[in-house]
Amino acid sequence: MSRPRSQAEYLARLVPPSVAGLNRRSLLAGAAGTGALLGTGLLAGCGGADSDSGAGSKTVSLGSNASDPTPKDVLAKVTAGFQSSSGIQVAVNTVDHNTFQENINNYLQGKPDDVFTWFAGYRMRFFAAKGLAGDVSDVWGKLSGYSDAFKKASTGDDGKQYFVPMSYYPWAVFYRKSVWQQHGYQVPKTLDDLNTLGAQMKKDGLNPIAFADKDGWPAMGTFDILNLRINGYQFHVDLMAGKEAWTSDKVKKVFDTWAGLLPLHQPDALGRTWQEAAQSLQQKKSGMYLLGLFVAQQFNNDEQDDIDFFTFPEVDSTIGAKALDAPIDGYMMARKPKSEANAKKLLEYIGGVDAANITVKNDPGTLVANTGADTSGYTALKKKAAELVGSATEIAQFLDRDTRPDFASTVIIPALQQFIKNPKDIGGLLTSVENQKKSIFTS
């Protein structure tokens, strides 16, 4: 469930997997009699569109979810760079972003490409633990320019690296400079400051905090940042791994704090898409918006310089405000690549400075993970975003990348929506989450 990176991708996502893939037939039939096994079997069959153009040592295949024009173009330029430097042909197999993610289980168990796109986080470690991904520790031996936080995010449970980071984006509170100057607002340093600021914005006729959760995932960002501020990074990791109880006082405190902030949020969030909320910020109807850097897409080109952000303020002074969500995208290697040597060469190139420079030059929407890259082409906003992440003590990957996908999508999304609808019954809600968590994590 990565964030849609463009309007086109968002629209493409409106098309249910039913239409995009062939799942629906089998599923609807599943309603009337056909079942899951057939569906998965069929998908496994078509998951790995194998492009084995001769198992020669001069080719390597790359499964890509970069189906949008810009990322696709960037990847084409990166692979062209690799081809000219190494002489190895890269066969890129691009699949629609959402379809790729939905079919990942079958893809990896079928005939995956030698190298494929994925995200850092729980799922990456899960695939590594299940033996569905190849160990790339020796590639890491040759890489430079990565902070420890990125290396940690690329490491599996066994201490080996399974992932090469490429790009990332931070979650922060965005606002329009012109609006803030007009009213003389100051960046809040603590939760109390934020409350005061929100009250002032209400007086000034603004929605203090833009908010949308129709798609289910944006509210995870709010939960994450409050949890990181109140309970710290390690608790976030343990909670996501199912080791901590959702009924604990610590989690309750997160929801209580959130309930206190809800009156400052845009009402009726469950019917609104993040684009609509972002547009309310763009139209100067809302004062601020906690979202990923991709919020900038909803602004016109001449307004880009007017966007600014701050990291979510401190709630507990013993915890501080140094941790944040900054999902990392990158590449992994299949468990049995047709040519392991070529796959590793490709990963080394992708993780290197040259590939990062190509990305910076061609994709205005991402921050590259390699600090050795020439980032003089960054906009002021991107420079500041890179600084923010660089100064972070811990980087979380976002709730749905940090925990089991079944837990995130079938339990947490409905639970957060229920909370937004009725913030009063926190106890009952958390008991329900905990019961479902026990059932899912023990299975």
Partner 1 sequence: MSDLPLIQADRAVPPPAATTSTGGRGRRLRLLSRTDRVVITLMVLVPLLLVIALVWLPALATVLLSGTNWDGIGPVSEIDWVGLKNYDDVVNIYPPFVPAVQNNLLWLAALFVVATPFGMFLAVLLDKELRGSRFYQTALYLPVVLSLALIGFVWQLIYSRDQGLLNAVLGTSTDWYGDSNVNIWAVLVAAGWRHVGYIMLLYLAGLKGVDPSLREAAAVDGSSEASTFFRVVFPVMRPINIIVLVVTVIESLRAFDLVWVINKGRNGLELISALVTSNVVGEASRIGFGSALATIMLVVSLVFITLYLATVMREDRR
Contact positions vs partner 1 (CB under 8 A): 1, 11, 14-19, 23-24, 26-40, 101-102, 104-106, 109, 123, 130, 132, 214-216, 267-272, 276, 279-280, 405-406, 409-410, 413-415, 417-418, 421, 432, 435-436, 439-440, 443
Q: Which is nearer to partner 1, 269 or 367 (CB)?
A: 269
**Least distance (Å) between residue 88 CB and partner 1:** 31
| Closer residue to partner 1, CB minimum distance, 54 or 271 | 271
Shorter beta-carbon distance to partner 1: residue 141 or 428: 428
As a whole number of Å, the end-to-end CA separation of the chain is: 23
Query: Please, what is the minimum distance in Å from the beta carbon of residue 357 to partner 1?
Result: 32
Question: What is the closest distance, in whole angstroms, from the C-beta atom of residue 8 to partner 1 in the complex?
Answer: 13
Confirm if 118 and 89 have CB atoms less than 8 A apart: no
159 vs 271, beta carbon nearer partner 1: 271
**Smallest distance, partner 1 to C-beta of residue 340, A:** 22
| CB closer to partner 1 out of 158 and 374 | 158
Is the Cβ of residue 36 or residue 341 nearer to partner 1 in the bound state? 36
- Say what the alpha-carbon torsion angle 29, 30, 36, 37 is, to the nearest 10 degrees: -60
HSE-up (13 A, CA, CB side) for residue 208? 18
Q: How far is the CB of 130 from partner 1 (least distance, A)?
A: 6
Gap between the Cα atoms of 408 and 391, Å rounded:
28
If the CB atoms of residues 28 and 49 are measured against partner 1, the closer one turns out to be 28
Q: Which of 94, 277, 103, 288 is nearest to 179 (CA)?
A: 288
All residues at 6 or more sequence positions from 113 whose CB lies less than 8 Å from its CB, including other chains: 48, 51, 61, 62, 63, 91, 93, 334
Q: Which is nearer to partner 1, 180 or 211 (CB)?
A: 211
Closest CA to 296 of 215, 368, 364: 364
Distance from C-alpha of 7 to C-alpha of 216, rounded to nearest angstrom: 17
Nearer to partner 1, 36 or 46 (CB): 36
Pairing label, strands 328-333, 307-310:
unpaired
One-letter identity of residue 9: E
Nearest distance, CB of residue 13 and partner 1, angstroms:
10
State the CB neighbour count (10 A cutoff) for residue 11. Answer: 10
Q: Closest approach of Cβ 35 to partner 1, in Å?
A: 3
Quickly list DSSP for 239-290. HHTT-S-TTSHHHHHHHHHHHHHGGGBPS-GGG--HHHHHHHHHTTSEEEEE
Q: Residue 395 CB, nearest distance to partner 1 (Å)?
A: 22
Q: Which residue matches tokens 């079958």?
A: 106
Among candidate residues 243, 409, 196, 171, the one with its CA nearest the CA of residue 251: 243
Closest separation in Å from C-beta 48 to partner 1: 15
| HSE (side-chain half, CA atoms, 13 Å) at 357 | 9
